[in-house]
Amino acid sequence: MKKYAVIVAGGSGARMGTAVPKQFLLLHGRPVLWYTLEVFLSAYADMEVMLMVPEEHLKAAMDVVRETQDPKRIGVAPGGRTRFHSVRNGLEQISDDARVGIGGAVWDAEAPGAAVIFVHDGVRCLLSKDLIHRCYEQAVLSGSAIPVVDSKDSVRLVTGQGSEAVDRSRVKLVQTPQTFLSHILLPAYRVDYREEFTDDATVVEAAGHTVQLIEGEADNIKITLPVDLVIAKNLLR
């Protein structure tokens, strides 16, 4: 089955406190984004990648792509004003001789099993090939795979009267790559943007599908704050 990854890398670096967007910050001499691209290219020899970045950073993204093991398998395109729009823009780049591949828009819901599509945050650069493989296998079986990890902290829900404790065993922290069969994901993204669309799972659920959770990875952190960069450097070491 064909495999495609839409990698969204639209960070500005504001919370990181740097002039350089976080996806281009260096980890042991390589940009964060380079590690992310490499693991997807390494996971499957037939994986194709569509990288979505802000228009003003297209050149920098292309420079990173040229340093990867197989630049020919990576397309680069401008993202959108939100993560939702960036993902949708990426999906619109996917087509194939029949319906899925890199190059043109496709919204064919009548193509069960045409491809598996991974959607991943570009600054989650520490994921493993094993996680990608497990997401693929689960998506083939059930149509979707959403990696999650347990909450290590106590959790409280804010209410009109204050707050109340929540059983943390029922709380899961969501990661990427969120992975779907193409005939589920592509039609789901034909809707207008809504604020509750915080990730791909919420978009797919709004289209009437259930999603399958799988075990994520503790090291699959999202680099957002300066401390995350320190942790990533140590984990990579």
Phi and psi dihedrals of 72, rounded to 5? -65, -20
Q: Which amino acid is at 199?
A: D
- The C-alpha atoms of residue 14 and residue 5 are separated, in whole angstroms, by 26
DSSP H stretches of helix in the chain: 32-43, 58-66, 83-91, 129-142, 182-188, 200-206, 226-236
Copy the structure tokens of residue 121: 């945050």
Q: Give me the phi and psi of 94, to 5 degrees please.
A: -90, 130
Structural domain range at position 223: 2-236
DSSP lists the bridge partners of residue 121 as 8
Kind and range of the H or E run holding 118: strand 115-121
Residue range 53-83, pLDDT digits in tens: 999 999 999 999 999 999 999 999 999 999 9
Residue 131 pLDDT greater than 70, yes or no: yes
Q: What is the pLDDT of residue 117?
A: 95
* Tens digit of each residue's pLDDT (9 = 90 or more) over 174-229: 999 999 999 999 999 999 999 999 999 999 999 999 999 999 999 999 999 999 99
Total count of domains within the chain: 1
> DSSP label at 209?
-
What's the pTM? 0.90
What's the CATH code of the domain at 203?
3.90.550.10
Q: What angle do CA 141, 116, 59 make, to 5 degrees?
A: 155
